[in-house]
Amino acid sequence: MPDTSSDRSPRRAADRLLPLAVGLFAIGVLAVIAIFLIPMVSDAHPGLWLYLVAMVATPGGLLLAIGFALWSGRRAR
């Protein structure tokens, strides 16, 4: 019985981590921009959900990107 587990690269999960990190960070930055633009365009205040998205997505994307950099920088033994 051939071993099929060695066919996969151990860095497959890291390949999906960078686009996820960049996307999450971009969503957070767009939320921050929207927080500043909404009062300029209208007299309304930004919703609480927008603050929560900005508070979670921006640092979350940054942490995932740092995790990707650490994971992809490791040497194979």
User: Most distant CA pair in the chain: distance in Å?
Assistant: 69
What is the model's pLDDT at position 55? Answer: 96
Contacts of 61 (CB under 8 A, 6+ apart): 21, 22, 23, 24, 25, 26, 27, 28
Sequence letter at residue 41: V
pLDDT for res 16:
87
The torsion of the CA quartet 22, 28, 29, 32, rounded to 10 degrees, works out to 180
**pTM, full prediction:** 0.75
Which tens digits make up the pLDDT trace of 31-74? Answer: 999 999 999 999 999 999 999 999 999 999 999 999 999 888 87
